[in-house]
Structure 1
């Protein structure tokens, strides 16, 4: 089966959607599929092996560079590349709708009658800028909902994003497939592993509470709220892992540490060195970093929308209802919950192990990839059956129904 995956960026952009796509890219190939990953060439390309292919699309990243909104603009040449790749694929996976590369892939797949699976990660992004809010809501209503209703299969990565799109007339009942977790990499500290040693290695204070954020430094991840919290809690060390236009390194705060290039084992050590994980994001589906934090044994403080992304999460995360416009009220609410978790430091090892066991039992990349491939196999089978039926009908038409040949 020749699978084509379409995203706006590759994983090196370090956004959740593209990191998830990268995991599926590797797992599909490991399961014997021919898989091509198509995205903008604004960041470095992933390494490939075996049956994997990367299709880089020439694009401008001006909008993100100037406004902080991740929205690459493909060139006309890139649109031609998208058409060729879709035509040669057996099935097309599209990760989120509101990106020009993905919209083009969707239109081409409809034109070439290729089965389409839309993996919808988010609902409506809650920008504070009124103009951006209006544009996002309009695009969601006109574009996203139309694409979801016309896709052969829609998959949501959380119950939150599924609920946001209730009431649509889907071709097939939507499915929820949670993202997986690398449980060997993201784990609690071993009994012989010292938090102090980890902090020393990372250049963090040994004797102060450490609050961790991992994600893109953008507005909808809650960076303005985090800045307010940093200013109001100088006795805590706030650690930020990620990159983006709202860089905490520019806040000139003595209690801030920024790590811009940590991944894999290095990022896992940062989780194990922290005391609490916080994510005051808005209008997200189910950020992968929540699962990584739980698997690492950390207490998690996040918005109520994120806390309800999986109904089984309630025992392992602390949801806060953020005020939609008042940064001070929002920061106060989060700080109260974080303070209660810091007051219970050190976290008992049994609680950390319990969180890890939950993550391992609930979130699996192999399990997720198997479910996606089952959907793909069914859709490709139906597509072939329908094509054969159409050809049979044409061949069985009486001669009078055939066009005359001059």
Structure 2
């Protein structure tokens, strides 16, 4: 049986999209004749200290040579070229989106990360990405050939359909899911909601609050300044079973990310039959069809407010998008298919 180790810079149960992808793939790989396990590296990646790099090297070097090795992009793109060479073994990279495209980086830091990732990817045995957009981005930024990249889009689980029937005069529930970091655009969402504060709505922003404390503090301050503390909830990250119930209680999904390498939460929202609104950035135009939602220019709270308002004020349009989201989601891959694509990469790599 083929065996693989997936190296990650945090515990496998971390509540972000990238780790959800890792968990689901590792769970499904045995169905394709691949035994799989996670290997945790220091959590400081992609900005490890010298000591943490040394510890990462020790753990990676200890992986048996008869096991395939996949390194998450947060790790792989930050490994220095001499270290990759010293490993003396092939490594497959799993890249959700380029490190240097994270929003909020200084120009110097972005260029440093892009240079590091360019050098590392040149050493990769193969590269796995979640979307055609990310594949094309990597080819353009780093000069990789199409044959060096495999697209393994995230899967979805069969889930019950939302939205729930609304009671008369009940406020619409607007759901957003994503770690509170600058790239997710929650500052734009709050400004947009402030513009339509006269309408009946409630909003929940669900996601990790420990990745960027400064962003969380700024968002709380912004919400308070707009007088929306009673209408916008920030409950933090929530376990998947509880989050699934929250999807069923929502009326629409809104996330104005400035960049997404795929956008798993949009697929999850559509799988629940929710109409979605996002920004036309990164892979979102690839993931969200016009029959399922509205995509607006990024960083424009006025246009975003107009899109939300349209769904609030036009129940018929909202229902049509909900139907389109549900129909589209039925055509999306399941996790078994995603794992099958990756299993084929692993089996080819060991020939």
TM range (shorter): 0.7 to 0.9
Give RMSD over aligned pairs: 3.1
Larger Rg: 1
After superposition, the C-alpha distances for 1:143-164 in whole angstroms (9 at most, x for unaligned) are 2222223322222212222222
Q: Output aligned runs, 1:264-279, within 5 Å.
A: 264-279=240-255
- Aligned partner of residue 86 in structure 1, secondary structure: coil
Kindly indicate whether the alpha-carbon contact (under 8 Å) linking 2:6 and 2:69 is maintained by their aligned counterparts in 1: yes
After superposition, the C-alpha distances for 1:196-246 in whole angstroms (9 at most, x for unaligned) are 6xxxxxxxx971122111010111111221232243332421111112233
CA distance in 1, matches of 2:274, 2:181: 23
Q: Output aligned runs, 1:178-197, within 5 Å.
A: 178-184=153-159, 187-189=160-162
After superposition, the C-alpha distances for 1:56-96 in whole angstroms (9 at most, x for unaligned) are x45559xxxxxxxx856563662354233334452111221
After superposition, the C-alpha distances for 1:340-398 in whole angstroms (9 at most, x for unaligned) are 122222667675354223223222110010010011101101xxxxxxxxxxxxxxxxx
The answer to whether structure 1 residue 117 and structure 2 residue 118 are counterparts is no
The one of 123, 136, 150 aligned to 1:150:
123
Residue equivalent to 1:321: 297
Cα distance change of structure 1 residues 304 and 348 upon mapping to structure 2, 3 Å threshold: closer
Shift of 1:293: 0.7
TM-score by length of 1: 0.72
Single out whichever of 17-26 and 231-240 deviates more from structure 2: 231-240
After superposition, the C-alpha distances for 1:73-123 in whole angstroms (9 at most, x for unaligned) are 563662354233334452111221x44x76449866654443322222114
Gaps of 5+ in 1: 40-56, 62-69, 197-204, 324-329, 382-406
Kindly indicate whether the alpha-carbon contact (under 8 Å) linking 2:266 and 2:276 is maintained by their aligned counterparts in 1: yes
Cα distance change of structure 1 residues 13 and 72 upon mapping to structure 2, 3 Å threshold: farther
The answer to whether structure 1 residue 290 and structure 2 residue 266 are counterparts is yes
Residue equivalent to 1:262: 238
Paired residues in the alignment total: 333
The one of 339, 346, 349 aligned to 1:369:
339
Q: Output aligned runs, 1:196-345, within 5 Å.
A: 207-234=170-197, 235=199, 236-244=201-209, 245=213, 246-247=215-216, 251-252=223-224, 253-306=229-282, 308=284, 310=286, 313-323=289-299, 330-345=300-315
After superposition, the C-alpha distances for 1:149-206 in whole angstroms (9 at most, x for unaligned) are 332222221222222223414383422221111123xx3139xx6566xxxxxxxx97
Kindly indicate whether the alpha-carbon contact (under 8 Å) linking 1:272 and 1:296 is maintained by their aligned counterparts in 2: yes
TM-score by length of 2: 0.82
Kindly indicate whether the alpha-carbon contact (under 8 Å) linking 2:77 and 2:118 is maintained by their aligned counterparts in 1: no
Kindly indicate whether the alpha-carbon contact (under 8 Å) linking 1:212 and 1:271 is maintained by their aligned counterparts in 2: yes
CA distance in 2, matches of 1:307, 1:374: 24
